[in-house]
Structure 1
């Protein structure tokens, strides 16, 4: 590499010879004198960077060294532009360092190496300027101007690199976010066909167990989707926010919905291949809250309501079975229908005695006996058929909460079919 300061000492000596007697060299004198030797200086600095900054190491005559030398040369010229006081063309240095910052966002993931390289460039430059001409040292004023200008300019270049780096990270995150949203949509709808272990790990590394958290429709505006998307698969789907998360991070995800005041349902943990099912369960749980089957609460734990989610998995089938198997109940008056269905369901679930059922319902045992007599009149020998008992138990468990919540659709359908 040779004597790094020799070229500068020689040049400053020439400028000194041409400086009128009695007038010390000015900052402008230094800047104009340095122009012809910028290329050699840039080569020296590039060599030092490749030697001292491991991230930029490479062949001394390779492309990387040429890129570094070009950047140093253009930045140095631009620095001299700020010193000599003359108008100069736009060299595109800011844009170049922003582009370098964007490249670092993709390659290294941080700016540590570039900051180190710029600090080294500043140190080498200042050492050369400071030691250039021992016979005629820089005045304190000139030295101060050069130091302020140099280190201020280095700070400016760092800011440009940081600006480019931030833009690069945003672009990467945006691209990654779009890829993650597309993957989330395919997983939720069951349209993902490839093996999950083939998914780009930068997009998603499938955990062993996942949960699906789903917001109420039209209640997602206050959810911090951007923050959730940093660690989980997040997509707006069917007017909902849906999150596919590692089951180990369930509390962190549900806390975000609760903090936003948005009702959500969370599935129990499943393997990633069962995401479409978990999504259906969570949506069904929210629907059952709206219909009054599941009590209203900020967070719906699907695990706590698996029976109702299962029983309501086929609404059309429940409706048809209701019309076929509960026809005697549907024909009763509203008051009779309510008390008989409650009594029958308690008996089917407990098989307790009349006094025990009465205690459960808060009525007299004789009242239960009367009701049971009426139930036997309605269903007769079917109450001794094991298959009928199983089906009517599930049917009443699914239907009675609907009726109690005010859903009259079963009775309206019964009247329509009876009058047809």
Structure 2
């Protein structure tokens, strides 16, 4: 944007009314924008007046000599934007002040042009020069504003990461006290939290996450913290942000037990990875409490299964399968043969025959509550590990009870 020669005879008048124009623009901004209507003569009023004055006088000087540097004007505009960010105001407030200044400035210049013989092209060029100058000033302020916001966001994210790690490492810690130790986090301690475990390198669309979540996405085992329970809207938000990936949510607990929630979430995520559980994008521990408990210690459950189900290893594959299925049905229902026949899809007489076989093999173990419970957990665990649809290691065919590993 270069100054045009026809502007030369306007410069003395522009210089003459520049101080008055500064006052008019300051008054116009104060009247239109309540955030800037501060006590006259105070520090904030001086900042506004200085900003307007530097831009008005800078524009006139720039018209006189388009080659002169605008370093001071540029630095001031960046600082004005930075001040807006530090004050916590939207950038739109300052942008509105720039528009008011440009409009009032052009109104006075238009009055000055009355009676002057300038071509339409010259008038248009002068208008372009003014509004272009102010657009540049506004863009410089945007840059200053966004730099401060980026710095503040980085400080907030770092503080929130430290807060999150403290919560999951310090079992029983006071959440409110930890939040107070990290004031830059700007995070209100909730009464409950739900931890969510993610696979390594999970494809998370961060802009879709609610702003109050705490994140540790670069940990070897990434995770995040949801304040409060996993409500329907929270679940929908997570499913959208996970972009088709997989995650597991722990139980909702007081913040002092965040480590427990994360441990359960990671356990469920491991079961998802093994193909034992699969509820789609987000699998909740709440929906699989018994399964998570039964499979929490694989080697121990293997030993329980070997001891409680040893009698099955002496049977052929087909007989072993129907014995296990019948025993599971009986332990699950304690129902009559008719009910079990419906569950198993076999004739009632077949059920009665199978139960006689089981009674002969197990004898008093079927009547002892502790033995029944141990046997039921062993069968349930074997079924979970080998149920149809499992995609992880040890996959069995449809109808199998996962007993081949006994």
Q: Please report how far the alpha carbon of residue 228 of structure 1 lies from its aligned counterpart in structure 2 after TM superposition.
A: 1.0
Check the 8 A contact 1:262/1:298 in 2, yes or no.
yes
Aligned to 1:252: 236
**Within-5 A mapping of 1:16-415:** 26-31=6-11, 42=22, 45-46=25-26, 49=29, 53-126=33-106, 128-130=108-110, 137-141=115-119, 144-188=124-168, 193-196=173-176, 199=179, 200=183, 203-215=186-198, 217-218=199-200, 220-221=202-203, 223-228=204-209, 230-236=211-217, 237-240=219-222, 242=224, 244-246=226-228, 247-248=230-231, 249-256=233-240, 260-267=243-250, 269-294=252-277, 297-330=280-313, 332-404=315-387, 406=394
**Range 37-46 or range 97-106, more displaced:** 37-46
Check the 8 A contact 2:171/2:256 in 1, yes or no.
no
**TM-score (normalizing by structure 1):** 0.74
Q: 1:389-417 deviations in whole A, cap 9, x for unaligned?
A: 223222322233224464699876x7xxx
Gaps of 5+ in 2: 397-401
Alignment partners' CA distance in 2, 1:49 and 1:384:
88
Secondary structure (helix, strand or coil) at the match of 2:342 reads helix
Number of matched pairs: 384
Q: 1:246-293 deviations in whole A, cap 9, x for unaligned?
A: 4343243244157x2223334454444444333333333333334443
Alignment partners' CA distance in 2, 1:380 and 1:386:
13
Distance verdict in 2 for CA 1:70–1:308, change over 3 Å: same
Check the 8 A contact 1:213/1:243 in 2, yes or no.
yes
Distance verdict in 2 for CA 1:191–1:302, change over 3 Å: closer
Check the 8 A contact 2:159/2:185 in 1, yes or no.
no
Distance verdict in 2 for CA 1:174–1:161, change over 3 Å: same
Check the 8 A contact 1:340/1:371 in 2, yes or no.
yes
Alignment partners' CA distance in 1, 2:86 and 2:234:
30
Alignment partners' CA distance in 1, 2:274 and 2:67:
75
Check the 8 A contact 2:250/2:263 in 1, yes or no.
no
Distance verdict in 2 for CA 1:132–1:362, change over 3 Å: closer
Q: Please report how far the alpha carbon of residue 224 of structure 1 lies from its aligned counterpart in structure 2 after TM superposition.
A: 1.0
- Larger Rg belongs to: 1
Q: Please report how far the alpha carbon of residue 31 of structure 1 lies from its aligned counterpart in structure 2 after TM superposition.
A: 3.6
Aligned to 1:6: none
Alignment partners' CA distance in 1, 2:260 and 2:130:
62
Check the 8 A contact 2:159/2:184 in 1, yes or no.
no
Alignment partners' CA distance in 2, 1:87 and 1:360:
91
Distance verdict in 2 for CA 1:328–1:238, change over 3 Å: farther
Alignment partners' CA distance in 2, 1:351 and 1:230:
50
Alignment partners' CA distance in 1, 2:312 and 2:320:
6
Alignment partners' CA distance in 2, 1:265 and 1:105:
37
Distance verdict in 2 for CA 1:252–1:192, change over 3 Å: farther
Alignment partners' CA distance in 1, 2:350 and 2:327:
13
Secondary structure (helix, strand or coil) at the match of 1:114 reads helix
Q: 1:84-121 deviations in whole A, cap 9, x for unaligned?
A: 24531342423431332132123133134423433443
Distance verdict in 2 for CA 1:124–1:361, change over 3 Å: closer
Distance verdict in 2 for CA 1:71–1:220, change over 3 Å: same
Alignment partners' CA distance in 2, 1:289 and 1:124:
65
Aligned to 1:418: none
**TM-score (normalizing by structure 2):** 0.76
Alignment partners' CA distance in 1, 2:49 and 2:249:
56
Alignment partners' CA distance in 2, 1:152 and 1:272:
54
Gaps of 5+ in 1: 1-24, 415-420
Distance verdict in 2 for CA 1:176–1:337, change over 3 Å: farther
Distance verdict in 2 for CA 1:112–1:257, change over 3 Å: closer
Instruction: Let me know the Cα RMSD of the aligned residues.
Output: 3.9
Q: Please report how far the alpha carbon of residue 348 of structure 1 lies from its aligned counterpart in structure 2 after TM superposition.
A: 1.1
